[in-house]
Structure 1
C-alpha cells in the first residue's frame, strides 16, 4: 500500500481525469488542497500474500465439535472448506482492484491517518453522505451501494435521489491508522467524521451507519456539528431502560409488551445468550484474543465467520466474506479493531454508552431488516428518538444490509433522506 502527498496542480489534474469517468475526488477547501489529503492506492506486496497462503496451509486444526449443530461455534468441516478455498483459489488482487477502481485518500485527523473513499455523483445537487461500517466489517461491506447511491437513474431511482459518498475506515480498521492511546470511542470517531466532511468542503450532509456505524452516526447526531442534517441507522438503540433492566436480570418478557415488542425481546434474549460473548471478550481482553487472531489465519476466519449466526454463509459468497477477512489479516487489524469494544467497556453496539438517544434532536431515520440480530419495533423507536422522520421494515436483508441487499438498502436511504434534501 502506498500514499504520497500531491501538489495543488496534481490534485487539479487528478480531479479532471477522474471527472472523465464520473468519479470526481471532490471539491477541496483551502486547507485540504495542501498535503493534508493524499491519494491512496492499495498495493500489497506479493510476499505478504504468499506468507498468508503458507500459514493457511500450515493450519493446526482442533478436534471436531461434539454436537451436530452450530451451538459450539462454526463447525470444523465447514471452516476447513472455507479455509482450503482461501489458500488455493481465492484471489486478493481482485479485491484490491475493486478498491483501486474508486478514488481513495488518506488524511490525518486528531493525530491518526484516516483512509476513506470519496465518490461524487455525476448528478447535480447530490446529497453528501458519510457511511460508517461495523465489526467484523469494513468498507468492503459498502462498495456495492456505490452505484445505486451515486447513479440512481441506473438503479431504479431519480437524478434527485443521488448522493456523493464518503466511506471512511474507522481508526484501527483496514487501512486507517491504529490508535496508540486510549479514547477512540464512537464519540471521538464522530468528531473525526465531522472534521473530515468539513475538510472536504461540505456545508451540509447526512450520515448513516449499521453495527458500530449506528453508535458513531448517533454520536454525530448528538454532537450536531454544523452541516449535519440528519442520520439513518439500521441497528438503532431503541431498548427502553426498563426492558434492558429485565434483560440484564435474566427475567421473562414483561406481560405489557405488544406482539412485536415481545418478538424483539426474544431476539435480544437470543443475542445476549449466544453472541454477547464476542463483545464481552473483545471488550475486556482485546489484547489476549488478538494474539490468536493475529497469528492464525484460520483462527481469524473462524472468529469472523461465526459471528451473527452464520450470516456470511446465508447471504454472502465465499469471496465476499474472504475479501473482508483478508483485509483484516493483511492490515494486521484484528486487535486494533477489537479495542473499540474495550473503549465502550465491553458493551455491544445495542447498549453502547455513545447511544444516548434522549440527547438527539436532529432528524433520525430507521430501517429494520428481517434477519437483523435485533428487530427494533416502531413503538420503541419512537420512544427513543424524539425526531423520528422515517421508519420502515424491509422485506429482506440482515445485519450487514448494505452488503447483502445493496439495491434495497440504497432504496431505503433514498426514501429516508428525501425530506432532508435542501429545497425539498
Structure 2
C-alpha cells in the first residue's frame, strides 16, 4: 500500500542566514554599458534583485503561504515524490493534475479559483480537486539518484501511479514546458483514466523529416525557425542542459546569484514579449520563492538533468486519442500542425497577453481556459 507522509516546509534559520550571507558576499562581474540583454542577463538587474532577495524578501511569509495547502511525500520505485493535494468542497469536482516544467511553474494563483469557484465568483460545476506534483529532481522531491529518473516519460509513469494510489479513476491533466510532454504521455499510458489534456504553449520540436508543406504560413515560419534553433542565441541554455548539466551544477549549487542569473535569463527569453523584464511579467516575490525552493533544496543542478534524459525532443509522438486543448500566448513557438499530428485537438485558444509561464503571468486567462475546456469533458 502506498504511504503518503504529510509534509510541511520548514527551512532552518541557519539556511536562511547562509543564503543572505552568500548574496551579500557575491563577487559581481563587470559588464558592458548600453548592451541591454544582448549579451545575456544584465548584471545590474541581477544585482538589484539579489540585494532585495537578501535583505527585503521575506521567506517565512512565503513559506507559511505554501504550507497553507496540504502537502505530502511518497516514494515510488525508489524515487521520492512531493505533491500538493487540494480537494474541492464541491462533491462533483473533477480531479486535475497540474504538471510544471523547467525551471518551475507556480500554480498558486490557480488553486483557489479552480478548487472553490463558488467562493471566487465562478460556477461550482467547474470545480476541480487539484494534485500538483513536484517533478523528480526538483524542489522537495529532492535530487534524482539514478540516470533516467529525470526523464519526462519516467515522470509520467510516477504521476500515473500517484493518481491511481490517490484513488482517482478519472482525471484531467494540464502542463506547460516539460509538462507539455508529460501531460500527453499520461494520456498515452493511462488512456482509460485521463479524460482530457490541456497544454499551454506546448513544445513542438520538429523531427528532421517532418513535412510541413500542408502547414499554415505561420506554422511554416515557426518550423523554419525551429529547425534553425540551435544557431540562435536563445538556445544556448538548452544545449548546456542537454549535454553538460553536471558542469553547470556547481555554480548553481554554490552561488545564489549564479542561480538567479541563469534561471531568470531563461525566464526572460520566454516570458510575455511585451514585458521588459522577468519581474515585469511575473510577481517578484513569486519568482524569488521559486528560486529559494531550488536553492534551499539544492536541486537546481539535478533539475537540469531533465533535458539530458528526456527522449521526447524532436520525437514523433503518437496520438493517445485523448481530447486535448491548447492555449498559446504571444511569442509562442508552438507549431499547430505538429500539435495536431500528435494530439486529438478539440480546443485551441490564442491569448493576446502572457507568455510561456502563463499560470504565473496570466492566471486569470488560464483559469478561464481550463474551465472552458474541461466543462465539455466532465
Q: How does the TM-score come out when normalised to structure 1?
A: 0.81
2:329 paired with 1:369? yes
Aligned ranges 1:139-158 → 2 under 5 Å: 141-158=106-123
From the CA coordinates, give the structure whose radius of gyration is larger: 1
2:187 paired with 1:187? no
Aligned ranges 1:232-381 → 2 under 5 Å: 232-238=198-204, 240-241=206-207, 258-265=216-223, 268=226, 272=230, 273-309=232-268, 311=271, 312-344=278-310, 351=313, 353=315, 356-372=316-332, 374-377=333-336, 379-381=337-339
Deviates more, 1:148-157 or 1:113-122: 148-157
Aligned ranges 1:15-414 → 2 under 5 Å: 31-32=1-2, 36-65=3-32, 68-138=35-105, 141-184=106-149, 185-238=151-204, 240-241=206-207, 258-265=216-223, 268=226, 272=230, 273-309=232-268, 311=271, 312-344=278-310, 351=313, 353=315, 356-372=316-332, 374-377=333-336, 379-385=337-343, 387-414=344-371
- Deviation per CA, 1:352-397: give whole Å up to 9, x if none: 54xx43242222111111243x1434x4432332x21211112221
SS of corresponding position for 1:56: helix
Q: Which residue of 2 aligns with 1:249?
A: none
Contact preservation (8 Å) 2:101, 2:177: yes
Once the two structures are TM-superposed, the CA of residue 313 in structure 1 deviates from its matched residue by: 2.8
- Deviation per CA, 1:301-322: give whole Å up to 9, x if none: 0001111435323311221111
SS of corresponding position for 2:10: coil
> Are residues 270 and 98 of structure 1, via their aligned partners in 2, closer, same or farther at CA, if it must alter by over 3 Å?
farther
Q: Distance in 2 between the 1:293 and 1:195 partners?
A: 31
Q: Which runs of 5+ in 2 are unaligned?
A: 272-277
Q: Distance in 1 between the 2:137 and 2:67 partners?
A: 20
SS of corresponding position for 1:307: helix
Q: Distance in 2 between the 1:404 and 1:49 partners?
A: 27
SS of corresponding position for 2:17: helix
Q: How does the TM-score come out when normalised to structure 2?
A: 0.91
Q: Which runs of 5+ in 1 are unaligned?
A: 1-30, 246-253
Contact preservation (8 Å) 1:397, 1:405: yes
Q: Distance in 2 between the 1:220 and 1:299 partners?
A: 34
Once the two structures are TM-superposed, the CA of residue 53 in structure 1 deviates from its matched residue by: 0.5
When the two chains are superposed, the root-mean-square deviation of aligned CA atoms in Å is 2.2
SS of corresponding position for 1:275: helix
Contact preservation (8 Å) 2:319, 2:342: no
Q: Distance in 2 between the 1:266 and 1:241 partners?
A: 12
Q: Distance in 2 between the 1:256 and 1:313 partners?
A: 39
